[in-house]
Amino acid sequence: MTEHPATDGSIITAAVLVIGNEILSGRTRDVNLPYLAVQLNEIGVRLREARVVPDVEQEIVDAVDQCRARYDYVFTTGGIGPTHDDITAASVAKAFGLPLVLNPEAVARLEAHYEPGTLNEARLRMAHTPEGATLIDNPVSIAPGFQIGNVFVLAGVPSIMQAMFEGLKHRLAGGAPVLSRTVAAFLPEGAIAKGLGALQDRYPGLEIGSYPFFRQGKFGTSLVLRGTESATLAAAADELRALIRSLDAEPLETEPA
């Protein structure tokens, strides 16, 4: 596992760990995962796994350990605030076998941000990182995230998380950008499944997915092809259109409203 993958056309992978009981309880709806999925795809990093993890130290440690060994990058969101249940930093430190320390640069940033005498013990919790971590800037509310190895620890508040990611994405080495084509048809999945499976066999380098819909009183299927070579995508899309026509339907380039 390399911590700094090279841009050599290889597939670069990532996992996202959404941390917080409030997500699992349904009290808060997560919007960070869709954002990260889109942003990573744009720079050629394929999101391969996402987990929602409770505010339980050992579960965070296990998830971080498993994902950092399996993927090129791991992004965590949530659990780096000033309260007792913000345990992500300590858990990540434990996963790496490192001490959790008061980061001098993080302290300096907080001191410059808060009024004199208001940087209390709770707020100083946000200045703790694993020893040797690199800070991730937070232009919204100052308290930084951090990177240790191939793990990037981000805030849970969407506006802060997004600002953090914008500031760090230049550190990421992506693979070949993932392109996609979508063809829809008023055909049920069962009608097209056999031909679609054969198409996938002919194009093993593509990801081909089918997604049913019900519009205008009819069943239909959106078919999404994803890959890194535009010519291959175009050829597979042409074959897909021919398959749809052979089933007495007309291919649509967008799903009907």
* Helix or strand (DSSP H, E) at 174: none
Question: Is pLDDT above 90 for 210?
Answer: yes
- Residues 27, 32: Cα–Cα separation, whole Å: 15
Mean pLDDT rounded to a whole number for the chain? 92
91 strand-pairing partners:
none
Q: Please determine, for residue 144, whether its predicted confidence score (pLDDT) is greater than 70.
A: yes
Does position 186 have pLDDT exceeding 70, yes or no? yes
d(CA 219, CA 148): 48
Which has more pLDDT, 99 or 44? 99
- pLDDT-derived band at 256 (thresholds 50, 70, 90) equals low
What percentage of residues in the chain have a pLDDT greater than 90?
86
Strands of 61-204, DSSP E = 73-77, 100-102, 128-130, 134-136, 145-148, 151-154, 179-185
pLDDT band at 178 (very low <50, low <70, confident <90, very high): confident
Residue 3 pLDDT greater than 50, yes or no: no
The whole-number pLDDT of residue 253 equals: 75
pLDDT at 2 over 70: no
DSSP state at residue 47: E
Per-residue pLDDT, averaged over 168-183, amounts to 88
* Token representation of residue 185: 């048809």
Q: What gap in Å lies between CA 143 and CA 122, rounded to an integer?
A: 12
**pLDDT at residue 1 greater than cutoff 90:** no
Find the range with the poorest average confidence among 101-115, 131-145, 174-188.
174-188
> Model pTM?
0.83
pLDDT of residue 113: 94
Give the tens place of pLDDT for each residue, 45-99. 999 999 999 999 999 999 999 999 999 999 999 999 999 999 999 999 999 999 9
